[in-house]
Chains A and B, each alone.
Chain A
Amino acid sequence: MMSAERAGAAVFHDFTPDEYTRFYEFFYQKTGISFNEKKAYFVKRRLQERMSVREATSFRDYFAMLRFDLNGVELQQLVNLLTVNETYFLREDYQFDALVQGILPEIAKERTPGRVIRIWSMPCSTGEEPYSIAIHILENWRRSDEFAIEICGSDIDSVVLAKAREGRYSARSVQRVSPALRRKYFRPAGEDFQICDELRESIDFSAINLIDRIAMARMRDVDVVFCRNLLIYFDDVSRREAVELIYESMAPGGFICLGHSESMSRMSSLFRPRKFAGTIVYQKPQRP
């Protein structure tokens, strides 16, 4: 009997093991994202899709296109196809409670009013996370007016960032936002919801690859990092490297929030676990 992959081979380019390995290694080096054997079929299908779109007739042609594509657009397309960038408003919002009930009050204790508190959503995908953080702070932290709160969002993918800057969301994306908050922070746009200008204009979005040391140097003195639902795609080595670069970007005493299935214990011993509002976050020591 023919396996599914063999059956597909009549229509699709069947990658040689060597081609697949070359692609895998290149992609891993560039993004930190790693696939196990079970994913090979899925990856090959997506590669095939991109080859068709780019009208590449051989793997060799496509791979050359990918490697010498200076602005990295093709790589971003692949990241897009190979990872899930789905996100939504108020996802895992217990961490936003930890932010306003524990983290921000602790940071504010040490800081004179008027000073900057910097929060970074990395990766932010289409922007729901940084906007949610903004809304949650404005609604629930009574000292929010005393500080200059900078919220930044970054992602490797410039297509999702353009959507984030535009700030237009489907009903599904805002499902968890209460009607009152929808009225306050969005205006209707056809079937969709448009985030209000005040929020849209106050968040800084930038394209940064989490494992690119040079690009990561753009972010410094960050007080709170949200790094959720990306490290699950990384293997142990790139996770370690990523966490170290995040560490560099953080202010002493800063905090990092990971996704619910991600734990720092296997990645780094540089941080101290802290518990706020029933959830564990990690703190960079004041002194190493």
Chain B
Amino acid sequence: MSIEIEHVNKRFGHFVAVDNVSLSLPAGQLTALLGPSGSGKTTLLRIIAGLEHADSGRIRFHGEDATDVHVSRRGVGFVFQHYALFKHMTVFDNVAYGLTVKPRRLRPGKAEIRRRVMELLELVQLDWTAHRLPSQLSGGQRQRIALARALAVEPKVLLLDEPFGALDAQVRAELRRWLRRLHDDIHLTTVFVTHDQEEALEVSDRIVVMNQGRVEQEGTPEAVYDHPVNPFVFSFLGQVNLFHARVQDGQARIGDLALPMAAPDHQPEGDGLAYVRPHDIEILAEDDGQGALAAVIQGITVVGPTARLELKVAGGKDLIHAELPKTQLAPLGLSPGMKTWVRPVNSRVFVGHRNQNPPVAEPALHPRD
């Protein structure tokens, strides 16, 4: 069931939490609401669920107006960041809750409830915990129970608010892959909130990037990552290096160095900032005469298969960051203190940002929170 969000606004006092958001979330897809902390993701999700009332705007499920439908009748499933399991009930009773509170004429029989609950517990691979209390489960298990509980009432849409936010890195990575597989099985229209761009890129069919209550960009993970529409999206989706650049006659330059550009069409002319991802910087041991910036290696860190280099470009203030496969270190003979040449092989220039503070002064290593 598709979700249409039309011109939704929400203020808390004078603070604008959601600022005229319009979105259309296609049926059966897994959409990520991605943005830094405080960007209004949770508020928007809660408005979709009916937990929060928009000041203006409409919410439609499959074309049907749900704006004024009470939360208990909206037919959504909701998973909270901190599980919100009922502590005094067993896992079984938690999952059964949505069925047991149905009015008598709609309530399935005891045996049927039992069958459905066990089926869901098997789906989340936790049927052996049925008689335990939530406090006897790990964080990852609790969140899977919370998901099973949400699915028990056969919701039309599933909403998850930072479902893996409280879990440690490994469980998190495991669970999000599991969520993706689960979604491929049940194909429920799903919206999940995250501030982790890696999570959004890995799991979702669509990404909606939010900032300060507004939608900055939406699209497939690939489109959003490869063609960010503005500096915010570019720097939020991964690490970046910033260079002062100039666009003239359809060609961007850093000093004298001509830049290949990801989207050369429609590029306005003038001064701006070139955004280059660390893995889009080529390192040359020798100047090959095709244009490159001289730089000195300040440090090399090897993280698993990847080598991360910090370099200082001649005449530049900030360090730039480059990434390459570890196996290329030896052939190039790279070591700290060495003079090398760097060449951006891919970049995006945003004109008009030169005189402002760069959106990120340092390459953003962890653009989270």
Answer yes or no: do A and B interact. Answer: no
